[in-house]
Structure 1
């Protein structure tokens, strides 16, 4: 394997995102806290129906993976506590380091975003970067020019009031940035940072809009908006404390909260559907990220579009850490039916609105798990066809058959004893896993 030794050794705890903890923070191995779970490393490995094609140890500290296409070549981009690295993976058994942006002490580029057309990479700087903290630390966005993956260049950095994750909307002309816990200079009644919008039409001169969006997400309270995923219809789904809510960011649409038709923009999106997740499925109410399956689209002979797959399901991950494993984060599958008229935006503590849970899955007690690690929280996932692959930190990478959404079934797993699985991504039949301690594991499902 071609590898370049990593010069920077991370001192950041090799565990969760931070602040999205439900339960006793002193026992949660997440950013800014330490305790029994931070030290709980599984002593043994467990693997079923998975082949490890390769491991890239020089990417230790990895938190996210993305791909960009250059003609016939696909290049892997990895973000982490080191900054950003690019790899040639034409031969996935021998990945080759191409270029890097060195940011020792960076925190942490979770769910790093790429612009396919302009060959840009957007890195969210969390306020805990470079020894900072959520109360007073600086947050922002680095924009990296990746036109030449062997010559990566930071072309801009802009301060943003949020900085845990940043996500493209409207073809990356704008990015939405959210999280983490609120700063000292933000409103006292906020439970966390909402979404700020940045105009990236000129990536060398980004413009941050002063007023945040996705407010009042937790039964009327402004709270932590963690991450945003955009579905095939162009609807941006914001996940965080209080559930998952989807927005139109372009075109003319009826606003269900007012009953009026108006133009949706990245700065003033139109609510679509979504809402809180039942506390019976996700007691923390903190949803980490989501996925809404919708298929191809075609014109119906007029101006209307029809979609080839029912889009009434939302898949969402709860991230939480409790003593033991039984109550840790769960993958929840919920129905969006009954939420298309703004119900999720009118929810209050007295009259809460919750999506109906139709299925769920947790790693605690499942084959291949190690409860002695004390850490069973869910994290990022990716879907290819009817197979969902998901990271579960110390419980490794799990493959689920979701052909029946009411009954997800585990069909394979990869849990190395020294691993911390953060982020999996399907690519050409393989799964590239950002493992915070091992670097990149490249996996092949053999079943």
Structure 2
């Protein structure tokens, strides 16, 4: 603990000297100043908690050499059998063998990329063993106005010899996500570049054909436009559910699209073929301002009642009629910070979310919300408590809340999420949790990677 606390103190000193948050990955400076068009990942100068707190959680191991970690993925290999963890962050990319003991990862290979900006929600192709790394325009000293953005494609066929295949320049690059079994990428965010239309509030989604990963093809026309009551705005991230619906979260809400098959288009009011380049609207829309004041949805999840590797999801409640989404928002104090919002999709299947306007807004009906503010295990002196990425195993949702750590919620009744465990280290900054082999791996931007066992049952 003393060494890590010293590290955080050093980071804080640098931040104070620079006048900006050490881990701000959005587009706003510290709270209390007028934000640039985009979203904020920090609520000011980082402050270490006075003490750690944990309940129903066992810490099995930590990888401090992965400090700066942002995103985690896993790849499985058959010849020879290997279970490999992929960690992306401000350092670049690292691969670890966790076959023998997932609590004791062994470094296999790394690609050093000092100066990269986050690489949030790094994606992997489990079949072709490819890794897709988003390059935000702020990487390597760039800016949202003029910086270069796109995607690096890395060959991980041999996890001990990671190899960058190519870089493809794309008009967006905060996050990139696989659709249609990683044959296409949807890349979005952050704030708009100086050459983009003046009435845009942020970057929408661009589609890239990566069927030939050495020769990717970027389509010129973006999708998921007019997402914020008719205004083209910041599309932050994409999650694909078990039915194959791609959900785009960002400013203005969360909207789902079919990307394959013959589907009924509720906006055009006709049957047509859905593709990754020309998707068909499915459902979704804006979130009530009473539930998420900033209107900025960071990521989402629609349970559909299918069995996953870690057990059945919670789709039986409403038979796929709910969507979970996190609001990322920072205010002065925790009370108004971003929350987990659970909404009903009923009433949104007729294209309502695509016809919403400021004069006639459409909003999903909120079922339930959950905020870390005032919850057991929270530190009232730490203002970094916005909701961030989450992952679901069975009836337990594990979610990162930055300086307020990783929270475990029982979502058996989505209208009443209930905290059943937490892990909040005094020197931590939790960004992304991911269930794997019954354990929870947490990308912590300060600590590296924490490996946890939830002991509170399912």
TM-score by length of 1: 0.92
Matched, 1:177 2:187: yes
User: How far did 1:23 drift?
Assistant: 6.3
Residue of structure 2 in register with 1:304 after alignment? none
Question: Residue 396 of structure 1 contacts residue 420 of structure 1 at CA under 8 Å; is this kept in 2?
Answer: yes
Residue of structure 2 in register with 1:337 after alignment? 346
Matched, 1:193 2:200: no
Please give the alpha-carbon distance, in whole angstroms, between the structure 1 residues aligned to 2:214 and 2:407. 39
Change (3 A) 1:33 1:165: closer
Residue of structure 2 in register with 1:237 after alignment? 247
User: How far did 1:375 drift?
Assistant: 1.6
User: How far did 1:371 drift?
Assistant: 1.9
Change (3 A) 1:289 1:340: same
Q: Secondary structure at the match of 2:45?
A: helix
Q: How does 1:86-105 map to 2 (within 5 A)?
A: 86-90=95-99, 91-105=101-115
Change (3 A) 1:121 1:426: same
Matched, 1:327 2:336: yes
Match among 66, 82, 85 for residue 73 of structure 2: 66
Q: Deviations over 1:313-335 (max 9, x none)?
A: 00000000000110000000000
Match among 47, 50, 57 for residue 50 of structure 1: 57
Matched, 1:414 2:423: yes
Please give the alpha-carbon distance, in whole angstroms, between the structure 1 residues aligned to 2:193 and 2:381. 35
Unaligned runs of 5+ in 2: 1-9, 16-20, 308-314
Give me the CA root mean square deviation: 2.1
Residue of structure 2 in register with 1:155 after alignment? 165
Residue of structure 2 in register with 1:146 after alignment? 156
Residue of structure 1 in register with 2:4 after alignment? none
Q: Deviations over 1:373-397 (max 9, x none)?
A: 1121000000000000000000000
Please give the alpha-carbon distance, in whole angstroms, between the structure 1 residues aligned to 2:41 and 2:432. 21
Residue of structure 1 in register with 2:7 after alignment? none
Please give the alpha-carbon distance, in whole angstroms, between the structure 2 residues aligned to 1:261 and 1:323. 48
Q: Deviations over 1:1-44 (max 9, x none)?
A: xxxxxxxx99894434303789644699x99998x722322221
User: How far did 1:74 drift?
Assistant: 1.4
Q: Deviations over 1:302-360 (max 9, x none)?
A: xxxxx977110000000000001100000000000000000000000010000000001
Residue of structure 1 in register with 2:310 after alignment? none
Please give the alpha-carbon distance, in whole angstroms, between the structure 2 residues aligned to 1:259 and 1:167. 28
Aligned residues: 428
User: How far did 1:247 drift?
Assistant: 0.2
Matched, 1:376 2:385: yes
Match among 34, 37, 41 for residue 44 of structure 2: 37
Question: Residue 143 of structure 1 contacts residue 156 of structure 1 at CA under 8 Å; is this kept in 2?
Answer: yes
TM-score by length of 2: 0.90
Matched, 1:347 2:356: yes
Question: Residue 31 of structure 2 contacts residue 44 of structure 2 at CA under 8 Å; is this kept in 1?
Answer: no
Please give the alpha-carbon distance, in whole angstroms, between the structure 1 residues aligned to 2:175 and 2:189. 7
Change (3 A) 1:399 1:308: closer
Question: Residue 22 of structure 1 contacts residue 284 of structure 1 at CA under 8 Å; is this kept in 2?
Answer: no
Please give the alpha-carbon distance, in whole angstroms, between the structure 1 residues aligned to 2:415 and 2:95. 38
Please give the alpha-carbon distance, in whole angstroms, between the structure 2 residues aligned to 1:180 and 1:201. 25
Please give the alpha-carbon distance, in whole angstroms, between the structure 2 residues aligned to 1:93 and 1:170. 32
Please give the alpha-carbon distance, in whole angstroms, between the structure 1 residues aligned to 2:31 and 2:233. 17
Change (3 A) 1:184 1:380: same
Please give the alpha-carbon distance, in whole angstroms, between the structure 2 residues aligned to 1:285 and 1:245. 13
Change (3 A) 1:380 1:21: farther
Unaligned runs of 5+ in 1: 1-8, 298-306
Please give the alpha-carbon distance, in whole angstroms, between the structure 1 residues aligned to 2:28 and 2:341. 16
Question: Residue 287 of structure 1 contacts residue 316 of structure 1 at CA under 8 Å; is this kept in 2?
Answer: yes
Please give the alpha-carbon distance, in whole angstroms, between the structure 2 residues aligned to 1:362 and 1:153. 41
Please give the alpha-carbon distance, in whole angstroms, between the structure 2 residues aligned to 1:292 and 1:172. 19
